[in-house]
Amino acid sequence: MGLIVQKFGGTSVADADRIRNVARIITETYRRGHQVVAVLSAQGKTTDELITQAAQINPKASKREMDALLATGEQVSCALCAMAIEALGCPVVSLTGWQAGVQTDAQNGNARIRKVDTERIQKELDKKSIVIVTGFQGVNKFGDITTLGRGGSDTSAVALAAALHADLCQIYTDVDGVFTADPRTVSGAKLLEEITYDEMLELATLGAQVLHNRSVELAKHYNVNLEVLSSFTGDPGTQVKEVVRRMESSHVSGIAVDKDSSRIALVGLKDEPGIAFKIFSMLAKRGINVDIILQSIGRDDTKDISFTVEKGDLDAVKSVLEENRDSFHFDHMDINDNVAKVSIVGAGMINNPGVAAKMFEALYNANINIHMISTSEIKVSVLVDLQEADRAVQSIHDMFFSREEDD
Amino acid sequence: MGLIVQKFGGTSVADADRIRNVARIITETYRRGHQVVAVLSAQGKTTDELITQAAQINPKASKREMDALLATGEQVSCALCAMAIEALGCPVVSLTGWQAGVQTDAQNGNARIRKVDTERIQKELDKKSIVIVTGFQGVNKFGDITTLGRGGSDTSAVALAAALHADLCQIYTDVDGVFTADPRTVSGAKLLEEITYDEMLELATLGAQVLHNRSVELAKHYNVNLEVLSSFTGDPGTQVKEVVRRMESSHVSGIAVDKDSSRIALVGLKDEPGIAFKIFSMLAKRGINVDIILQSIGRDDTKDISFTVEKGDLDAVKSVLEENRDSFHFDHMDINDNVAKVSIVGAGMINNPGVAAKMFEALYNANINIHMISTSEIKVSVLVDLQEADRAVQSIHDMFFSREEDD
């Protein structure tokens, strides 16, 4: 018996039947003697439909009004879910972000939660009510509605779990949990029972798309026990926690692929101090996120710098570089948006130098060329041709998971 | 230059084009130098669609959750309208009921406005912003969202106009204003330039369906100058105020028809004191609204009592009367739900006894039988057969409006 926060995404509440299913999961948890706070996203495509409506009226609408508009999506799904729970005979109350005390900064469209004032939720829990809270939204100090941006509902759930000192935060989704690789494309992908926050963070950042990294960071910071599981099967999913028990031999917990990368190479840069600083501070000022960076010696007192950015940022990068060409003196720019980043992640990697070599071996065996390499304490990423990406993941996965590990 | 509250109904904001039209009306008013607070209903059929969704999930959903659900409709239309105004280059902010300080009692689904805390609206007006406020909703003292029931957005607009001491409250709708009769069914119906609150109240109650009577009562109480006008034509509509200037000869301002009446006659009631009290207090306890009451002497120490109720209440009335038949001792009950109530309304009527006679003359000329008659200081109502109703209205209208008045 304890306090459990349960989060349900848009697919889990897409229609009346699925809302009834979510209501069943919540009431079963409640009837086992737990206090339950459920955080819901908007139904299925609601948010996209609202964005389309807004675009018809004003493609450059202010973020404040976009937030006021979009926040209705979760209010609808939460009220409907509360009604479904009423029909199952349990006491319940739905609360919007402002009612639930979710206070954010004033950055409309991508607000950060500053504080959760749990008074109202606690009062409802004390009255033995199930509490349904709108995900993805809060209220700023001016009393305006804000939304949290991508992955916002996961973040709402973890923030509420932290503020309420919940025993567990369950993230219900449309997959069974966190896998060693994407089970839709990699044969033999295995469900992980446990994973550390840090590994999950690398996987979230690397495009595993199970949990948004903001929510994992928050869970790590407040030591919130997370579980990722399916709202359709009811089976146990993956626990995300600080330290996990794991067999000594298994150094890699997952393999992720990110097909949204492009590589830019600046060839023949004049070799003078501060050149890298100039380039990357200029890109940072424009809000462009640079991922892998690689610098190599060129010929005749020049050097080359290569880096990757999201495909969506490519045009902005090109224009920033062209505009400032005079201050850089590079020879030419080489752009390749036909690449993908494949990464292995594992907390045990740091003490096992053989892991990276094994990854390269798998790619060599599959005859896949590596364009760039980047490593951190718990991951190794390589850039390969986009059309080789799936085969790369499969061959690496086969190497680490489908046969006995023997290093 | 002054403060104007403008209210737009669901038809006026039904789609993107109409929202743009509403935004144009608002910004034109603003650019003429006025402060503008606009109150909007939900778009077209939104509320009905949300009710349908709720019914699929729980036909007996609590009113609290219904209100949380329905309140999203106005939040959407207001955010979209604010975006349309942004596109026209004016400063604007949309506010929900709770943000706008609309405080109500706790009666979900049919809440009454207790107070409007205008601080936030005033702050936005001081910043030269146009303010868009969700109609139909408020917040109770527990911080829960409430809705105001039928005609709620009119009431919101008038309450805001009263609290802000607005110079004018314009109710934009899909008709040109208040007519001498329903222009869709009565030929020669004329637009009224002015009408008194009391006349408007009688017309609203009598089924003219232009303004909800709660909003007119509120306007009368706080002496809010109302104007009813079309959001499509931009032409001047009808002013609703305390005293109107009117030609001495025109005693009747409008004719209304209510096809939702049924007549019940209790024949052969024992003629003893308190019998009417017993019957009507019993009906009042069940929340049944009785309209016209008529008592006449019967035969042999008995009397007859006839009265009208809304058709929807007929079954409840029958069962109340049958259950209590022992305490009344009536002979038999006669029910006629094939009737309509036709009324003439006019503040000048009280000093002109000839007005009622002229109405009866019109009906006599048209060979229409009168079942019941009821009069007040500013109206005369008659009950006629349902199938004669439209002809009755037309003949009365011809008598008072389409030819020279000569009494």
Q: Is B121 on the interface with A (CB under 8 A)?
A: no
Residues on chain B touching A144 (C-beta within 8 angstroms)? 99
**Cβ within 8 Å, pair B99-A143:** yes
Residue contact A20–B96, C-beta within 8 A: no
**More confident: A271 or B54:** B54
Confidence of residue B1 (pLDDT cuts 50, 70, 90): confident
Beta bridge partners of B340: B384
For B68, the closest chain A residue by CA position comes to A79
pLDDT top residue among A246 and A47: A47
Specify whether the backbone of B268 is left (phi greater than 0), alpha (psi in -120 to 50) or beta.
left
- Inter-residue contact B146 to B63 (CB < 8 Å): no
Q: What does the alpha-carbon distance between residue A339 and residue A343 come to, in Å, rounded to a whole number?
A: 13
Q: Do B86 and A56 touch (CB under 8 A)?
A: no
Contact B162, B222 (CB under 8 A): yes
Q: Which residues of B touch A122 (CB under 8 A)?
A: none
Give pLDDT, residue B227: 96
Which residue is closest to B83 within chain A, CA to CA?
A61
CA distance A407 to chain B (A): 56
- A99 CB neighbours in chain B (<8 A) are 143-144
Instruction: Give yes or no for residue B139 having a pLDDT over 80.
Output: yes
Provide the pLDDT for residue B405: 42
Q: Round to whole Å and give the CA distance between A262 and B363.
A: 84
Kindly report the nearest CA distance between residue B103 and chain A, in angstroms: 15
Q: pLDDT, tens digit, for every residue of A315-360? A: 889 988 888 887 777 888 889 999 999 999 987 776 676 788 888 8
SS3 A329: coil
Confidence (pLDDT) at A407: 39
Read off the pLDDT of each residue in A35-63 and give the average, rounded to a whole number.
95
CA pair distance B345, B213, nearest whole angstrom? 15
| Min distance A67 CA to chain B CA atoms (Å) | 9
Q: Do A20 and B94 touch (CB under 8 A)?
A: no
Closest-CA distance of chain A to residue B133, Å = 12
CB contact (8 A) between residue A83 and residue B16: no
For residue range B251-275, list pLDDT tens digits in order.
788 999 999 889 998 888 887 777 8
pLDDT the model gives residue A118? 97
* pLDDT confidence band for A250 (50 / 70 / 90): low
- CA B321 to chain A, closest CA, distance in angstroms equals 35
pLDDT score, position B2: 94
**B66 contact A CB<8A:** yes
Whether the predicted pLDDT of A142 surpasses 90: yes
- B54 touching chain A per CB within 8 A: yes
Q: What is the mean pLDDT of residues A287-295?
A: 82
pLDDT at B175 over 70: yes
Q: Chain B residues with CB inside 8 Å of A79's CB?
A: 54, 65-66, 68-69
**Residue A64 confidence (pLDDT):** 97
Average of per-residue pLDDT across A14-19: 96
pLDDT of residue B407: 39
Work out the pLDDT band at A404, boundaries 50, 70, 90. Answer: very low
Q: Give chain B as a 3 state SS string.
A: CCEEEEEECHHHHCCHHHHHHHHHHHHHHHHCCCEEEEEECCCCCHHHHHHHHHHHHCCCCCHHHHHHHHHHHHHHHHHHHHHHHHHCCCCEEEECCCCCCEEECCCCCCCCEEEECCHHHHHHHHCCCEEEEECCEEECCCCCEEECCCCHHHHHHHHHHHHCCCCEEEEEECCCCCECCCCCCCCCCCECCEEEHHHHHHHHHCCCCCCCHHHHHHHHHHCCCEEEEECCCCCCCEEEECCCCCCCCCCCCEEEEECCEEEEEEEEEECCCCHHHHHHHHHHHCCCCEEEEEEEECCCCEEEEEEEEEHHHHHHHHHHHHHCHHHHCCCEEEEECCEEEEEEECHHHHHCCHHHHHHHHHHHHCCCCCCEEEEECCEEEEEEEHHHHHHHHHHHHHHHHHCCCCC
Closest CA–CA distance from residue A14 to any residue of chain B (Å): 12
H/E stretch holding A248 reads: none
User: Could you tell me the pLDDT band of residue B246, with boundaries at 50, 70 and 90?
Assistant: low
A56 touches chain B (CB under 8 A): yes
A246 pLDDT band, cuts 50/70/90, is low
Is B55 a residue whose pLDDT tops 90? yes
Q: Does B113 touch chain A (CB under 8 A)?
A: no
| pLDDT over 70 percentage in chain A | 96
In this predicted structure, the answer to whether residue A225 has a pLDDT above a threshold of 80 is yes
Do the Cβ atoms of A84 and B57 come within 8 Å? Answer: yes
Cβ contacts of B79 on chain A, cutoff 8 Å:
54, 65-66, 68-69
Quote the pTM value.
Answer: 0.82
B389 inside 8 A of chain A by CB: no
B391 touches chain A (CB under 8 A): no
List the single range of B42-46, B119-123, B133-137 with lowest mean pLDDT: B42-46
pLDDT for B406 equals 40
Contacts 24+ apart (CB under 8 A), A23-27: A23/A81, A23/A84, A23/A85, A23/A87, A23/A88, A24/A88, A25/A172, A25/A231, A25/A234, A26/A81, A26/A85, A26/A130, A26/A132, A27/A85, A27/A88, A27/A89, A27/A90, A27/A130
Tell me whether B55 touches chain A (CB under 8 Å). Answer: no
First-to-final CA distance of chain A: 43
The answer to whether the CB of B324 falls within 8 A of the CB of B277 is no
Residue B249 has pLDDT above 60, yes or no: no
Nearest neighbour of A83 by CB, restricted to B58, B72, B94: B58
Q: Do B69 and A75 touch (CB under 8 A)?
A: yes
Task: State percent of chain B over pLDDT 70.
Answer: 96
- pLDDT higher than 90, residue B378: no
A376 has a chain B CB within 8 A of its CB: no
Test the A interface: residue of B65, B66, B77, B96 with most A CBs within 10 Å = B65
pLDDT of residue B404: 44
Side-chain-facing half-sphere of B75: CA atoms under 13 Å: 29
Mean pLDDT of chain B: 90
Q: Which span out of A66-80, A203-217, B222-236, B315-329 was modeled with the highest average pLDDT?
A: A66-80
Predicted local confidence at residue B31, as pLDDT: 97
User: For residue A405, is pLDDT > 60?
Assistant: no
Residue of B26, B27, B52, B80 to mutate, interface with A, max A Cβ within 10 Å: B80
Mean pLDDT of A92-97: 98
- B138, amino acid identity: G
Mean pLDDT for B386-390 is 95
